[in-house]
Amino acid sequence: MTNSDAREPASPLQIYLVRHGQTEWSLSGQHTGRTDIPLTPRGEDEARALEASFRGLAFSHVLASPRQRARQTAALVGLGAAVAVEPDLAEWDYGDYEGLRSVEIRARRPGWSIVRDGCPNGESPAQIAARADRLVGFLSALTGNVAVFTHGHFGRCLAARWIGLDLTAVQNLLLGTACYGVLGYDPGHPENRVIAHWNIAAA
């Protein structure tokens, strides 16, 4: 084999899944889907603090939700120049529940659970699962380090579907503002997708 025939092996896929920094509505607990609000000053500081965690990593792809809070977080982490907007990374469309807190929704609809009941005039759990599965298919074809900047509910849904769990698993996954997880494969069993790390805040 000549040197020109040699090929570097593809780097194993690792997906760095990042939730955006704090916004006024994430602080108040209001459901923020389509509403396009910026980070608070504290949210900006949270995102900047993550830069050290990503320093020195080479990313083959950087993807972000269309919402400015996700794109702003990517920029403050130092990856803004490489960002490609991916519409499927947008937050759950809360429909009639946009801007409401869970306690307000349950006052109208006792026992409501987003992963079971969805949102009127918004997205259903089946629609979210299909969107997450579409992303899983796309992401699993990539190699190397991939950064995705997304949102609280949808980020947890994507992680759950990455490892083949029903969306009800979202209730057992916390993802704080400007925290991230790492999705990938088990090195000993590369056919098995794993959540290697989760809910990591800046050091």
In a domain, 4, yes or no: no
| pLDDT band with cut points at 50, 70 and 90 for residue 3 | very low
Task: Please check the confidence at residue 9 and state whether its pLDDT lies above 70.
Answer: no
* Residue 166 in domain: yes
Rounded Cα–Cα distance for residues 29 and 101 (Å): 6
CA torsion angle 195 198 202 203 (round to 10): -90
% of the chain at pLDDT higher than 90: 94
User: Nearest-5° angle of CA 139, CA 152, CA 191?
Assistant: 30
Q: What pLDDT does residue 10 have?
A: 73
Give the mean pLDDT of 110-115. 96
| Number of domains forming the structure of the chain | 1
Just list the catalytic residues.
20, 91
Q: How confident is the model at residue 11 (pLDDT cuts 50, 70, 90)?
A: confident
Q: What is the pLDDT of residue 5?
A: 45
Closest CA to 85 of 68, 65, 113: 65
Q: Is residue 70 part of a domain?
A: yes
Strands 14-19 and 180-186: antiparallel
Is 7 within a domain?
Answer: no
In the predicted structure, residue 130 carries a pLDDT above the cut 60: yes
Give residue-wise pLDDT tens across range 21-39: 999 999 999 999 999 999 9
Cα diameter, the chain: 71
Residue 25 lies in domain:
12-200
pLDDT digits (tens, 9 = 90+) for 28-86: 999 999 999 999 999 999 999 999 999 999 999 999 999 999 999 999 999 999 999 99
137-178 pLDDT, tens digit each: 999 999 999 999 999 999 999 999 999 999 999 999 999 999
User: Considering the domain boundaries, does residue 130 fall inside one?
Assistant: yes
Residue type for position 79 = L
pTM of the predicted protein model: 0.94
CATH value at residue 23? 3.40.50.1240
Q: How many CA atoms lie within 13 A of 60 on its CB side?
A: 13
Q: Answer whether residue 3 is part of any domain.
A: no
Q: Is position 183 within any domain?
A: yes
- Per-residue pLDDT band at 8 (split at 50, 70, 90): low
